[in-house]
Every structure is written in structure tokens, then in C-alpha cells.
Structure 1
Amino acid sequence: MNIEINYPPKLKAISIHAPFAYAICIGMKEAEYRSQPTHRRGWVLIHASQSKQSDDYFADYGIDPTTVKRGAIVGAVKITSCVGSPGNYIYHLVNPIKFNRPVEGVKGKQAIFWGAKTDAEKIAFTIASEQIREYLLSTT
């Protein structure tokens, strides 16, 4: 598959346990709690991690766990601000997008925000960026 690599150079992803990743993308979770602050603003890709540690939370959001993709970029959201105190920060999230076509086969990272380094990740970020553009065009 030949794909022209084309995504914003500063675009990053954040890996989140699947129930919370999907809750963000469908607009049910408007904040992400982290131990570190961020100055990042704008679009970030939401990656649903492989972890099943938080699977008990699917029911809290009314999400059927058999319908989710893990190890995939499942959507995107904009970070508008970060508030809090040492060890307890809240990233405020708006404009959630749940992708119609999750970008599967993407291994997440431990870093809070991570970028595309490998060719496969660059392709994944390009496919994800196209879905953000499609969404934005459909809402204008």
C-alpha cells in the first residue's frame, strides 16, 4: 500500500485504556487526569491501549467491550487547557471524534504524548489525520 505521508508534524497521540479512550471519543469523558501537566493544545490522537486493567469501566459508559478495537487509534480530541496541582492535573477535552475506521495495529507508548517515529506509525498518523479532516469538512 503506497500512502503519501501527510499529517501535521506536531501531531501526537496519547495511549489510554480502552474504556476511557472510547468514552473520550464519544464525548462522555471531557477530561483526562494525569500526574504531569501539559502545555500541549489542539488535536491529539486517541489510542486505545491493549491493557484490560480498566475493563470494569466499560459498563459505566454503556460501551459494549466486544465492539472496541485495542492497539488502535480510535479517534481524536482537542486539548484546550490543563489545570491542577503537582501530581493531579486535568486536561480539558473538546470536539471529540470517534473514527469510523479505527487505525489498527498501532502499538502504544508509555510516554504521555508520543509521535510517529516508524514508517508504520507515520502511515497510521496520516490515515488518522485524514479522518479528522473528513470530520471537519462534514461539520462545516
Structure 2
Amino acid sequence: MKAITLWQPWAQAIALGLKRIETRSWATHYRGPVAIHAAKRPLPDMTPFAGIFPDGTAFPPGAVIAITSIEDCLPMTEAFISGLSGTERLLGVYAPGRFAWILGPIRPLQPVIPISGHQGLWNWKQM
């Protein structure tokens, strides 16, 4: 299965269904299942995310925390960006010239699966 490593809190935002689009500077032709891996990187200042995450939300580092799928990959346009919710905009880097990876149904994992991540789309041998 393919996997992608994201920094927290963005990985947990996907696991909770708050973020349905992953934004990247590069396109992918891959469509199919993808594991969401949370990087070991420490949490950033959470002030900009106040009120988005439920109280008591855990942000597990260094683990696969959810399974979803990449359904589509679209180039960002002003029209696309203007149609997004405020929460989705806050949880991504939206600008013309970037790409929106449209995610499918999300299945959070409990317990999470500790593993080291990698850059880009990578092959997760666990599944």
C-alpha cells in the first residue's frame, strides 16, 4: 500500500475527517488506497487551529494513523480555491500552481501503527 507522511496536526485533521484535500506542490497520477503517516516532528503553535480540533485530541507522532484513498489530483485554480470551506483552506496551502489531492472515505486506525516515515509517496509493507 502507498503511504504519505504528513506533519501533525495535518495528519490528524485527515484522520478526523476535518481535512478532505491534501495540498502539494507536485501532482500524482496514483489513485487508490493510501496510509496517512504522522511524522515525528513536534507540533507547531496550535493557536491558528483553535476551535477546529475537539478538546483532548491526541496527535500521535511517528505512526500510521488512518487509511484513505487518493481519488483525484486537480490543479488549483482561483475558482477551485474560492469554493473551499474556511476550515479546508486553513488546513492546506492553497495557491494557483499547486495541486489538490482529493481524498476518499477515511478510516482512522486504533491503535495507531508506529513506523518511520519517508518523503513523497512511499510503499508501506504493513498492508
Q: Tell me, yes or no, whether TM beats 0.5.
A: yes
1:84 aligned onto 2:75: yes
1:1-140 aligned within 5 A: 11-52=1-42, 54-56=44-46, 59=50, 61-63=52-54, 67-84=58-75, 87-104=97-114, 106-110=115-119, 112-116=120-124, 122=125, 125-126=126-127
Question: Could you give the per-residue CA deviations for residues 95-125 of structure 1, whole angstroms, max 9, x where no partner exists?
Answer: 0111111001x11112x10114xxxxx3xx2
TM-score (norm 1): 0.67
- Asked whether the 8 Å contact 2:8–2:43 carries over to 1, the reply is no
The number of residues matched between the two structures is 107
Query: Structure 1 residues 33, 22: closer, same or farther in 2, change over 3 A?
Result: same
- Asked whether the 8 Å contact 2:9–2:43 carries over to 1, the reply is no
Structure with more contact order per residue of length (Cα contacts < 8 Å, sep ≥ 6): 2
- After superposing the two structures, state which structure 1 stretch, 46-55 or 35-44, moved more: 46-55
- CA RMSD after TM alignment: 2.1
Runs of 4+ in structure 1 deviating by more than 3 angstroms, as ranges, are 57-60, 63-66
Task: Determine the C-alpha separation between the residues in 2 that align with 1:23 and 1:62.
Answer: 8
Query: Percent of counterpart pairs with the same letter?
Result: 34
- After superposing the two structures, state which structure 1 stretch, 22-31 or 78-87, moved more: 78-87
Q: How far 1:50 sits from its partner (Å)?
A: 1.0
Structure 1 gap ranges (5+): 1-10, 117-121, 127-140
As a proportion of its length, which structure holds more helix?
1
Letter in 2 for 1:91: W
Structure 2 gap ranges (5+): 77-95
Q: How far 1:72 sits from its partner (Å)?
A: 0.2
Query: Structure 1 residues 43, 82: closer, same or farther in 2, change over 3 A?
Result: same
TM-score (norm 2): 0.73
- After superposing the two structures, state which structure 1 stretch, 58-67 or 48-57, moved more: 58-67
